[in-house]
Amino acid sequence: MKIIVPFSYYFPEQCAGLTIIDDVLKACAEHGVQSYLYVPTPTRNIPENAKWQKDEFLCDGMVHVHRFSMYGEGKNSILRALRYVFCEIVYTYKLIFSDYDVIFLDSTPPIQGLKIPFVRLFRKRPVIHNVQDLFPDSLSGTGLAKKGGLLWKIGAWVSKVTQNNSDKIICISEDIKNNLVKEKGVPEDKIEVVYNWVDENAVVPVAKEDNPLFDEFGISRAKFHVVYAGNLGNAQNIDVIIDAANVLKEENDVEFLIFGTGGLKDQFVAKVNELKLDNVKFFPLQPMERVSQVYGLGDVCVVSCKPGLGGAAMPSKMLSIMSAGRAVVASFDTGELTYILENHKCGMYAPAGDADAFAEMIKHLSQNRDECKAMGDNARKLILQKFTKAYGTSRYVEIIKSVVFSRKPHDKRLSTDNTNLDNRLIK
């Protein structure tokens, strides 16, 4: 069996979602499923001295990574959009003229699904759509489009085309599933819920005394640290972290550490300087192999979003924090994420955008460090129970095989074992 995966980014790039797709492809290889990954030239968040080849054959040749030439992404939104369009032309060509059994589409960029009706004129193959984020809801949530406006309506149409032409939709939370069914009219039997996961053996708790980053970056081990790591963009609402730091600027033992890059980083740095905050420090985005140490700097680690954007979201960032044995502090809309934090006592949350409530929560934990430590321990235990790499990837393999099998019921090579299909809300 062969799957074809048109994707926007791949290692050595550092982007959200890369680890998930990489884990899926490697799990497929272990189960005899070949993968063909087509990606443009690496451009986003590339570590220094990173190397890559146009063609790479991983997992004993079971995973073929093919990189085609494309200009750099840059910061210009128009050029970035055109880059996506040019990539789609390449993907369309590959989907028409390549040999494969199933198409695996990611939700980034959202226009991925538009090519499928055309491709199916030539190659009638099943399609799996992996939904990591709701569209066009993300447009209105980030302020890029007004709900009901022209751009939003175009986004809704794009999403509808993708959903109608997908044989199976995989989403990362029950909240997203409910939205797809109730708000977008997607048949429930077309949707499978598979929570994102973390490699519990790669992201592990690191004690402060054993963490070399304290010395490397000149950070005091005695202070209470609040760590954010990731994209510094609009959706993440970094403003709420900076505003909370401003509220707590007289708390001398509380310090905010921000690791990341993004289009708005300069804006956030300028805001910190304007407010004259000595309790906020910025650092470059670190390589993936350092994620345990980065989160290990924190007594608590942040997951944040703009109001109205996070209700159906389940950021993979939260799972990495939990796997590192750290308490999660969230500035987030009420939903599945806040349910997990509250019911499993692995963190605390404040309403998205409420800097005062967020600051008060951090102050409380800084004054109750035993409680904070217990939340981190609970977080690690929950990862080992519910969010392991082995369980998550096996679900993807099951779904991929079942979709192809439904088109080829005579093919006895394909397993239909669905014994692990338990998608109930985490309780």
- The domains located in the chain, with CATH, are 2-197+388-407 (3.40.50.2000), 208-386 (3.40.50.2000)
Report how far residue 419's alpha carbon sits from residue 391's, in angstroms, rounded to the nearest whole number: 12
Q: Please work out, in degrees rounded to the nearest 5, the angle formed at the alpha carbon of residue 55 by the alpha carbons of 69 and 402.
A: 105
pLDDT of residue 310: 67
Where do the DSSP E strands lie in 219-284?
224-231, 254-261, 280-283
The sheet carrying 102-106 orders its strands as 55-58, 63-68, 34-40, 2-6, 102-106, 127-131, 168-171, 191-193
| Helix, strand, or coil (residue 154) | helix
pLDDT of residue 312: 63
130, 106 Cβ separation under 8 angstroms: yes
Q: Are strands 34-40 and 127-131 parallel, antiparallel or unpaired?
A: unpaired
Residue with tokens 């997607």: 186
- pLDDT beyond 90 at 120: yes
pLDDT of residue 114: 95
Beta carbons within 8 Å of 251's beta carbon, 6+ residues apart: 279, 363, 366
- pLDDT beyond 50 at 360: yes
Burial (CB count <10 Å: 0-12, 13-18, 19+), residue 376: buried
- pLDDT beyond 90 at 408: no
Mean pLDDT of 280-291: 93
DSSP secondary structure code for residue 133 in this structure: S
What confidence category does residue 311 fall into, taking pLDDT thresholds of 50, 70 and 90?
A: low
Report how far residue 415's alpha carbon sits from residue 407's, in angstroms, rounded to the nearest whole number: 13
27, 394 Cβ separation under 8 angstroms: yes
Q: How far is C-alpha 106 from the geometric centre of its chain's CA atoms? A: 11
pLDDT of residue 416: 37
Which amino acid does the sequence have at 214? F
Predicted confidence (pLDDT) per residue in 190-221, tens digit: 999 999 899 999 999 999 999 999 999 999 99
Extract long-range pairs of 280-286: CB within 8 Å, 24+ residues apart: 280/242, 280/245, 280/255, 280/256, 281/217, 281/219, 281/255, 281/256, 281/257, 282/258, 283/217, 283/257, 283/258, 283/259, 284/259, 285/14, 285/45, 285/229, 285/230, 285/259, 285/260, 285/261, 286/229, 286/259
Burial (CB count <10 Å: 0-12, 13-18, 19+), residue 93: middle
Stated pTM of the model: 0.78
pLDDT of residue 423: 37
pLDDT of residue 415: 38
pLDDT of residue 245: 97
Beta carbons within 8 Å of 197's beta carbon, 6+ residues apart: 20, 23, 319, 387, 388, 389, 391, 392, 393
- pLDDT beyond 80 at 22: yes
Which amino acid does the sequence have at 276? K
pLDDT of residue 414: 38
**Which of 89, 29, 40 is CA-nearest to residue 64?**
29
244, 275 Cβ separation under 8 angstroms: no
- pLDDT beyond 90 at 409: no
- pLDDT beyond 60 at 330: yes
16, 9 Cβ separation under 8 angstroms: no
Provide, rounded to the nearest whole percent, the portion of the chain with pLDDT above 70: 93
What confidence category does residue 142 fall into, taking pLDDT thresholds of 50, 70 and 90?
A: low
Beta carbons within 8 Å of 30's beta carbon, 6+ residues apart: 59
Question: Does 307 or 359 have the greater pLDDT score?
Answer: 359
Tokens for 288, please give them: 């993936």
Predicted confidence (pLDDT) per residue in 77-105, tens digit: 888 889 999 999 999 999 999 999 999 99
Tokens for 200, please give them: 């519990």
What confidence category does residue 227 fall into, taking pLDDT thresholds of 50, 70 and 90?
A: very high
For residue 36, the cross-strand partners are: 4, 64
